[in-house]
Amino acid sequence: MPRGDSPRRPRRTAQPRSRTARRRPARAKRPRSLAWRVFRALMLTGFVFGLIAAAAVAGYMRYLDTTITATFEGRRWSVPAVIYAQPLELFPGALLSMANVTRELNRLGYREATGTPPPGSYQRGDGSLDIHLRSFRFIEGPRESQRIRLRFRQGTLVDVSDPSGRAVPLIRLDPAAIGSFFPSHGEDRVVLAPDQVPPLLVETLKIIEDRNFDQHPGFDLAGIIRALWVNVRAGEIQQGGSTLTQQLVKSYYLDNRRTIERKVRELLMAIILDARFAKPDILNAYVNEIFLGQDGRRAVHGFGLGAQFYFNKPIDELGADEIATLVAVIRGPSFYNPYRHPERALARRDFVLDRMLESGLITATGHTAAKQQPLRVVRGARLGGMYYPAYMDLVRRRLDALYQDDDLTTSGLQIFTTLNPPVQESIEQAIAETLQDLEQSRKLPANTLQAAAVVTSIQTGEVLALAGGRVAGFDGFNRALNARRPIGSLVKPVIYLKALESGYNLTTILDDAPVNLTLNRQTWSPNNYDRRVYGPVPLVRALGNSLNLATVQLGLRLGVEEVADRLETLSGHRPANRFPSLLLGAEAMTPLEVAGMYGTLASGGFYMAPKAVVAVLDETGQPLSRHSIEVEQRIAPDVASTLVRAMEAAMRYGTGRSSRFARAGVAGKTGTTDDYRDSWFAGFDGVHLVVTWIGTDDNQPTQLSGATGALKVWDAIMTRLAVRPLHHPPSNTLRTVDYQSGLLADESCSEELVSVPVPWDAALQTHPGCGIYDRSLSERVREWMQRF
């Protein structure tokens, strides 16, 4: 045995194991810990829930993707119908001064410039104006931007020419946009195509709201961190973390709730939107969608409307400071409201201008000039971008029968109307100033009185202006359209018209005597305004002095039903009152209905329903409807002229004699109701018919008659419009008579003379003391034959 070797052990001989032999017990496994078992269960549960969550997220993302793709690809903003006023027509001979035209240019947002004026501006010269007109799509078709020169002399436009000196017979300024028919949710906008958006606005939006817009996938983590750092350093919110895409999603798809769920949805939708659509498409959608302010019930969306709302001009005419103001407002339209918080808005605007300089968007010189500008937002005056809700009610009423609501609120229609902005401004100012003066002089509480007014053209029936209350631009109860009040003595011209048509003339003697009628076992005994009885009076005086007793006697003789029917043919309003009280105006009508009735008298007997709409174009400029003037003769011209002469006498010697225009060739009639609850006046000159009403909304007495209330408003309006005397057709039957007696007279025996048409075969007596006599029948026949 070698050294070192250990002795071998003897081998054991393997013995066969008995089946009954006992086995060695196996080693028992160590049981798992409780923590491990809990962990494994949680892992398994988490995996299962993870699969479910992943499937849910995938399904939700699929749903969002479908929603976004379907709505964004086929997006069509609700573009409300835009309503335009009458454009100012410029032609040689127009009674327009340089001040008139520049005022209208300023209303439209034109700016005075030096050198060659760009579009939307003008330059003054020595008795001349150089204007660079904007392009505009009129009813007849589009007009390109062009330059014109106007020359004035003594308050008249004497020449219109183009830059080459060639005469221009007629041209129009672009009309003022006076409002929109926006949907119930209130959104209003002017949609801009990508090529209509100024590049400076696009780049400014990026540097202020989203520096990495062109690179990020819809959200910007670096931008969030940067905004947080800037805001912490500034101690205020100067930058936001949301990208332009997120802001668009928030405005276009989501509500304003601040919840984690909404924020997650915003993030997911922004990622999908950015992945599905091109950056320029997203940016253009943002430009048209973003909320920029509130104007009453109207929500101002998009930069197209924002430019008009804040600066009263198209977006392509904005300067750097104005673009900076619009971008500044985005951060908080209420917080940075330039009307309510001009200091905040100015500071924010300057911050934007600083960033524009740092990014090289504007030069140092441009930056300095822009920061020196004040906030140039328009305010106060009723300018082209302002809203006229009372007149808009009338337009809407005229179109409701022709168009569905969706057509008017979402289809981008162009509606051309008859509104005349200078006339509208005149009635608004006149009402506000006169009511304040009346309340002070009568010692009434402030804002006690309310008013309404309608101005129409006597030649066309076009409604040039309409005020529904004393507060200009108030979007509420429209008294001109909806306030039905008893018209009082405004009904009397209808009765006297019926008399003239029945063989009476202005010198016919009426009996101003007491009236006692028993109706339903009650006695009706009206009185004159001053409770006096005047006995025999000529018809012209009975109307001019508004004598109730003579009018009732005449109306009963003619027949109440006949008078009611005549009222309906003149106004289109069917009287509900068919009793004798109708003869004193116990019939409720609106100021607009009264304007329709008096318009028939003022136009020489031609009925024209008050017209507000000229034409409607679709969004491509194609005409959908044209609203021509519908004329129907309802009074013989000679009879209408005779009645108008009587109403002129009413102004000169009767209830209208307190007017400053009583002897200026105007015609009119006062109206007063019981207990002085309503004060009315309807009057006209050679161009305008104006109906005014004063009262209270709770129907309380006003202490005002037609002459002491509504006539004052009429005077204030006509002062601003400039009176143009009435002209009558020549007549062979005119006689000069004394207003009080109806007898032939001249200056030697009467101070109240009126020329009235009298039938050629009627004999008249001479006023005592006058050295004139009435011609015999044979003399009148001979004179008539000679004239014929």
Residues 6+ apart with CB under 8 A from 643: 493, 496, 497, 500, 601, 635
Residue 665 has what pLDDT?
A: 96
pLDDT digits (tens, 9 = 90+) for 121-130: 999 999 999 9
pLDDT of residue 545: 97
Please state, for a pLDDT cut of 90, what percent of the chain lies above it. Answer: 62
* pLDDT at residue 24, rounded to an integer: 54
Query: pLDDT value at position 73?
Result: 64
Indicate the pairing of strand 121-124 with strand 111-112: parallel
What is the model's pLDDT at position 267?
82
* pLDDT score, position 765: 79
Q: Name which of 586, 580, 576 is nearest 672 in CA terms.
A: 586
Check residue 21 and give its pLDDT: 46
Which range among 88-97, 106-115, 118-127 shows the weakest confidence by mean pLDDT? 106-115
| Angle of CA points 544, 545, 549, to nearest 5° | 115
Exposure letters 428-441 (e unless 16+ CB within 10 A, then b): bebbbebbeebeee
In this prediction, residue 382 carries a pLDDT of 41
CA separation for the pair 707, 668 (Å, rounded): 11
Can you give the pLDDT at residue 384?
42
Q: Which two tokens stand for residue 690?
A: 């104006």
Question: Exposure of 174 by Cβ count < 10 A (0-12 exposed, 13-18 middle, 19+ buried)?
Answer: buried
Neighbours of 315 (CB within 10 A): 23
- Residue 755: CB atoms within 10 A of its CB come to 15
- Stretch 174-186: mean pLDDT, rounded? 81
> Contacts by 517-525 with C-beta closer than 8 Å and gap 24+?
517/580, 519/579, 519/580, 524/580, 524/581
What is the distance between the alpha carbons of residues 430 and 437, in angstroms, rounded to a whole number? 11
Comparing 14 with 84, the larger pLDDT belongs to 84
| Distance in angstroms (rounded) separating the CA atoms of residues 5 and 2 | 6
What's the pTM?
A: 0.82
Q: How far apart (Å, rounded) are the C-alpha atoms in residues 223 and 368?
A: 29
User: Quick one: average pLDDT of 646-660?
Assistant: 97
**φ/ψ of residue 482, rounded to 5:** -120, -15
pLDDT digits (tens, 9 = 90+) for 684-733: 999 999 999 999 999 999 999 999 999 999 999 999 998 999 998 888 88
Q: Exposure string (b/e) for 140-166, b if CB count within 10 Å is 16 or more? A: eeeeeeebbbbbbeeeebeebbeeeee
Element (H, E) at 383: none
749's tokens: 């025996």
Give pLDDT, residue 205.
Answer: 95
Separation between Cα atoms, residue 220 and residue 680, nearest integer Å:
66
The pLDDT value recorded for residue 692 is 98
The pLDDT of residue 751 is 87
For residue 654, is pLDDT > 90? Answer: yes
Label residue 396 by pLDDT band (50, 70, 90): very high
Structure tokens at 338: 């330039």
Taking Cα atoms as reference points, which of 261, 260, 218, 222 lies closest to residue 243? 218
Q: What is the chain's mean pLDDT, rounded?
A: 87
Residue type at 127 in one-letter notation: G
Question: Which ranges of 141-243 would DSSP assign to H, the alpha helix?
Answer: 199-209, 221-234
Q: Are 681 and 671 in contact (CB under 8 A)?
A: yes
Instruction: Pick from 53-62, 588-597, 614-623 the range whose average pLDDT is largest.
Output: 588-597
Residue 76: both structure tokens together: 């069509």
DSSP letters for 421-453:
HHHHHHHHHHHHHHHHHHHHHTTPPTT--EEEE
Retrieve residue 607's tokens: 């009925």
User: Tokens 């992943």 belong to which residue?
Assistant: 54
From 104, 121, 187, 209, the catalytic residue: 209
Q: Measure CA of the first residue to CA of the last residue in the chain; give whole Å.
A: 177
CB distance 590 to 478 below 8 Å = no
Distance in angstroms (rounded) separating the CA atoms of residues 43 and 31:
20
| Confidence check: pLDDT of 30 > 80 | no
The answer to whether residue 6 scores a pLDDT higher than 50 is no
Highest mean pLDDT among 49-58, 59-68, 104-113, 694-703: 694-703
More confident: 182 or 648: 648
Active site residue 426: no
CA–CA gap between residue 690 and residue 707 (Å, rounded) = 15
Neighbours of 112 (CB within 10 A): 13
pLDDT digits (tens, 9 = 90+) for 402-426: 898 888 888 889 999 999 999 999 9
| pLDDT of 260 higher than 80 | no
Q: For residues 160-165, give the mean pLDDT.
A: 94
Distance (Å, whole) CA 185 – CA 539 = 58
Q: Look at residue 268 in the predicted model and tell me its pLDDT.
A: 83
More confident residue, 59 or 536: 536
The confidence score (pLDDT) of residue 60 equals: 67
> What phi, psi does 303 have (nearest 5°)?
-75, -25
pLDDT reported for residue 724: 95
**pLDDT at 227 exceeding the cut of 70:** no
Structure tokens of 7?
Answer: 């002795």
For residue 520, give both structure tokens.
């339903």
Candidates 106, 112, 110; CA nearest to 136 is: 110
State the pLDDT at residue 366: 95
Q: How far is CA 335 from the centre of its chain?
A: 27
What pLDDT score was predicted for residue 407?
Answer: 85
Beta partners for residue 766, in sequence order: 744
Per-residue pLDDT, averaged over 626-640, amounts to 93
* CATH class of the structural domain 87-174: alpha beta
Cα separation of 754 and 650, whole Å? 10
In the predicted model, what is the mean pLDDT of residues 423-437? 96
Query: CB 531: neighbour CB atoms within 10 A?
Result: 7
Alpha carbon distance 295, 306 (integer Å): 11
- Structure tokens of 334? 């209420």
Residue 273, pLDDT score = 82
Distance, CA of 729 to CA of 678 (rounded, Å): 35
Q: Where is pLDDT greater, at 206 or 776?
A: 206
pLDDT tier at 380, thresholds 50, 70, 90? very low
Element (H, E) at 671: strand 667-672
The predicted-structure confidence for 516-542, as pLDDT tens digits, reads as follows 998 888 899 999 999 999 999 999 999
| Model confidence band, residue 79 (pLDDT cutoffs 50, 70, 90) | confident
Choose between 156 and 266: higher pLDDT. 156
Handedness of CA 103, 104, 109, 115 (dihedral sign): negative
DSSP state of 350: H
Q: What is the DSSP string of 266-319?
A: HHHHHHHHHHHS-HHHHHHHHHHH-EEEEETTEEEEHHHHHHHHHHSS-GGG--
Q: 411 — phi, psi (to 5°)?
A: -100, 5
In tens, the pLDDT along 267-322 reads 888 888 888 888 998 899 899 989 999 887 788 999 999 999 999 889 999 999 99
Residue among 121, 180, 489, 546 flagged as catalytic: 489
235: pLDDT strictly greater than 80? no
- Give 340-379 pLDDT, tens digit per residue: 999 999 999 999 999 999 999 999 999 999 999 999 998 6
CA 739 – CA 755 distance, rounded (Å): 9
Higher-confidence residue of 635 and 406: namely: 635
Domain boundaries, the chain: 87-174, 734-785
Q: Is 73 a catalytic residue?
A: no
Q: What pLDDT score does 502 carry?
A: 96
